[in-house]
Amino acid sequence: MSLLIDDSSPIFVQIAERIENDIIEGLLPEETQVPSTNQFASFYQINPATAAKGVNLLVDQGILYKKRGIGMFVTEGARDKLMEKRRERFFEQYVITMVNEAKKLGITIEQLTEMIRKGGNA
Amino acid sequence: MNRVLEINRLTKSYGEAVALNNISFSLEEGKIYGLLGRNGAGKTTLMHIITAQLFATSGEVKVFGENPYENDRVLSQVCFIKESQKYPEFYRIKDVLVISKDIFPNWDAEYALQLVHDFNLPINRKIKKLSRGMLSAVGIIIGLASRAPLTFFDEPYLGLDAVARTIFYDRLLEDYAEHPRTVVLSTHLIDEVSKLLEHVIVIDNGKMLVNEDAETLRGQAITITGPAAKVEEFSRGKKIIQREGFGGLVSVTVLGNLSLPEQKQAQVTGLELAPVSLQQLIVRLTTDNNERKAA
Amino acid sequence: MNRFNGVVKLHVVGGYSKFNWFILPWLIVLSSFAINLIISGFLNNGKDLYTGGMVSIFFYMLVAVMVAVNTTFPFALGFNIRRTDYFLGTSLVVGLICLGDAALLWLLSIIENNLTDYWWAGLHFFHLPYLNDGNLAVQFGVYFLAMLHFCFLAFVVISVFRRFGAFGLYSIFGAVGAVFSILTLLATQLNWWGAIFNWLGQQSAFGLCLWLTPLTILYALAAFLLLRRSTV
């Protein structure tokens, strides 16, 4: 995934997604500390308040929690929670889009299923 | 939140020409603002009035709650780095730093020297003999090292190369984190700084066009592309800020978020949705329709 | 108060500013003096040479103040200095330079008149008849007040330029010219010239300088009020 933040969606959403990805991929194991708001800000060259908003989004969802005076940590069970959320979104985000595009190109559902099977073996 | 600046129904006219037309807004403490707009939109005039270097025709300006005119309590807390800053003939970079120490109460001389080193500036060279980029770097150094609670940068990176611009963003964020203050970045080149901004004010033709959270703005417009009839139907009742057509295809940019059902409906009808960046949004808002047709 | 120091500093910071205020004017005066001295040495015809070349420093200061204010005022405004502080700081710097220059001129005139018998060459460069009438304190007063008058004349002229631009400056020159023409005409019509020259003849140099002082104060006040309304 690119390190660059793009300008097409709210940056705090992108920051939250980056952290989520890192948690899912195991780069940020549970109970480890996540970088500070200012570290995020200077790494991505974004406004610290925006970075904080992204982090707080995950705090609200219980993915991260705050240790007073120390910083933000990954909650226990955060990874499972995120996987579940992503699975739910998978249908909307990928399947629907794929089926629409397939219809446009005249690909039948049977052909599509076959393609998916092939993709899985590759 | 403390308001560091309040502007109320500010108008500045030169005879018939109106440079600023009934502008009102306020700035809160500790945020990075973008003052955006095309060249000649009135940004520099506005900052000149805020720092009492120009006089308003009507309206009210309060900086830290007070009138800035001849008010040292206020003026000493403000630093305005302007693109057209004049320097006396013989001043060297060094001389400007020496003077700044007496002018800005929070001046950090050591930090200024470190920045001179970072930007690789010839400290003994006369200001008059600096390139445009070096001159911009001098402004940036003064703006950062002055640590003024309200700092304006007017077109801060004219002539700076990519490396120097990155140094500027790095140092600005670093120093802002350590010494929180209100920073206003005024520019017509929105792309690069847009990520640094927390709040955006757009001025067009002397009028206030946008005064909004940068994050809100980023998700606020969307471009819908598809067959003309379908696009028309879908965008009915929405605020259209731009329309472009070629062949049977039409592309329309609308303001406001699309709800999830709306997004789904668009997908089902075969319309393509594309997000609009801050830069694109502002370009679209500030480009006059007639002007675009003529071009 | 700190920012007032800043104004003082912005006038004298760096080698060039110091050179322009303190070295260059004296380089001009002293080289003119050297040439005059050589000429009077060569002439050696038993007659005294009255050149009064030291007046060049008055004109130098006139120009120097205009140049300085014209460049430092927009700079100071851009650095968020109060116009009042700029005026006070600049007046202090100009006043101190006038004091220093007057003191040097005064010392040189004493050397010329009392110690070296006109440089042993009959050269009247710093000490002139009429101008240097009166006691030593009065002589110092003449140098100081005259120089102050020149400097604040420059200050007010350039302040008109900063406030109203080139057109404003020409208009004011035009207006002043017109007023003088009318006064001249009136004086001729009413036969005042005799009385005027009579009065002037009775005044000592110091007396005239004292008469200039209210004018100097008026210039300063006008410069202040003009700068208060000046923009970038």
Give tens-digit pLDDT for C74-120. 999 999 999 999 999 999 999 999 999 999 999 999 999 888 888 88
Any domain includes B96: yes
| CA A15/CA A21 separation, integer angstroms | 10
Average pLDDT of the residues of chain B:
90
Any domain includes B114: yes
What is the pLDDT, as a whole number, of residue B165? 94
Q: Neighbouring chains of C at 3+ CB pairs within 8 Å?
A: B
Find residues 78-117 of chain C whose CB sits inside 8 Å of chain B. 78-85
| CA C155/CA C72 separation, integer angstroms | 12
Which of the four pLDDT bands, split at 50, 70 and 90, describes residue B294?
very low
Which of the four pLDDT bands, split at 50, 70 and 90, describes residue A7?
low
Q: Per the CB < 8 Å rule, is A48 touching B173?
A: yes
Of B85, B88, B103, the CB nearest to C81: B103
Same domain, B111 and B198: yes
Whether chain B has a CB inside 8 Å of the CB on C232: the answer is yes
Which of the four pLDDT bands, split at 50, 70 and 90, describes residue B292?
very low
pLDDT at C29 over 60: yes
| CA C142/CA B131 separation, integer angstroms | 48
Least confident of B12-26, B254-268, C48-62: B254-268
Same domain, B66 and B101: yes
Please enumerate in sequence order all residues whose Cβ is within 8 A of that of B266, keeping only pairs 6 or more positions apart, or say none: B224, B234, B258, B273
What is the pLDDT, as a whole number, of residue A54? 94
What is the pLDDT, as a whole number, of residue C2? 63
Which residues in chain B have their CB less than 8 angstroms from residue C83's CB? 70
Which of the four pLDDT bands, split at 50, 70 and 90, describes residue B289?
very low
pLDDT in tens, B134-192: 999 999 999 999 999 999 999 998 999 999 999 999 999 999 999 999 999 999 888 88
> Of C62, B66, C165, B48, which Cα lies nearest the Cα of B57?
B48
Supply the DSSP string of chain A, one letter for each residue: --SSPPSSS-HHHHHHHHHHHHHHTTSS-TTPBPPPHHHHHHHHT--HHHHHHHHHHHHHTTSEEEETTTEEEEPTTHHHHHHHHHHHHHIIIIIIHHHHHHHHHT--HHHHHHHHHHHHH-
CATH code, domain carrying B257: 3.30.70
Q: Per the CB < 8 Å rule, is B55 touching C231?
A: yes
pLDDT at B34 over 50: yes
Q: Per the CB < 8 Å rule, is B170 touching A45?
A: yes
What is the pLDDT, as a whole number, of residue B265? 80
pLDDT at A1 over 60: no
Same domain, B55 and B167: yes
| CA B200/CA B184 separation, integer angstroms | 9
pLDDT at A67 over 60: yes
What is the pLDDT, as a whole number, of residue A8? 64
Q: Per the CB < 8 Å rule, is B88 touching C71?
A: yes
Least confident of B61-70, B94-103, B230-239, C17-26: B230-239
Same domain, B111 and B230: no
pLDDT at B1 over 60: yes
Number of H helices, E strands in chain B: 12, 13
Domain carrying residue B134: 3-214
Which structure tokens are listed for B101?
A: 């120490």
State CA B79 to chain mean position distance: 15
Using beta carbons and an 8 Å cutoff, which residues of B are at the interface with A? 31-32, 166, 169-170, 173-174, 176-177, 191, 194-198, 214-216, 218-219, 264, 267-268, 270, 274-279
Indicate the fold that domain A11-78 takes in CATH: Arc Repressor Mutant, subunit A (1.10.10)
Any domain includes B291: no
Q: Which residue has the tokens 């010392």?
A: C107
Interface with A, mutate which of B218, B260, B267 (most A CBs under 10 A): B218
What is the pLDDT, as a whole number, of residue B288? 59
Do chains B and A meet with 3 or more Cβ pairs nearer than 8 Å? Answer: yes
Q: Which residue of C has its CA nearest to B86?
A: C75
pLDDT more than 70, % of chain B: 97
pLDDT at B194 over 60: yes
pLDDT at A2 over 70: no
Q: CA geometry: angle at C27 spanning C24 and C30, to 5°?
A: 150
Which of the four pLDDT bands, split at 50, 70 and 90, describes residue C1?
low
What is the pLDDT, as a whole number, of residue B97? 97
Domain count, chain B: 2
> What residue ranges do the domains of chain A occupy?
11-78, 83-121
In b/e form, how buried is each residue of A109-120, taking b as 16+ CB within 10 angstroms?
eeebeeeeeeee
Complex-level ipTM? 0.88
Whether chain C has a CB inside 8 Å of the CB on B22: the answer is no
Nearest-Cα distance to chain C for B164, in Å, is: 24
Element (H, E) at B30: none
What is the pLDDT, as a whole number, of residue B293? 43
* Cα–Cα separations (whole angstroms), residue A96 to A103, A121, B34, B168: 11, 22, 38, 44
Q: Per the CB < 8 Å rule, is A12 touching B215?
A: yes
pLDDT at C43 over 80: no
Of C6, C75, C232, the CB nearest to B87: C75
Any domain includes B202: yes
Nearest-Cα distance to chain C for B74, in Å, is: 9
Structure-derived torsion over alpha carbons of residues B129, B134, B140, B143, reported in degrees to the nearest 10: -10
State CA B177 to chain mean position distance: 20
* Phi and psi, residue B124, nearest 5°: -95, 0
| Helix C56-78 vs helix C136-189: crossing angle, to nearest 10 | 90
Domain count, chain C: 1
Any domain includes B280: no
Whether chain C has a CB inside 8 Å of the CB on B80: the answer is yes
Higher pLDDT, B129 or B221: B129
Same domain, B208 and B268: no
Average pLDDT of the residues of chain C:
92
In b/e form, how buried is each residue of B114-133, taking b as 16+ CB within 10 angstroms?
ebbebbebeeeebbeebeeb
Q: Find the length of chain A.
A: 122
Interface with A, mutate which of B32, B165, B195 (most A CBs under 10 A): B195
Whether chain C has a CB inside 8 Å of the CB on B230: the answer is no
What is the pLDDT, as a whole number, of residue C69? 96
pLDDT more than 90, % of chain A: 61
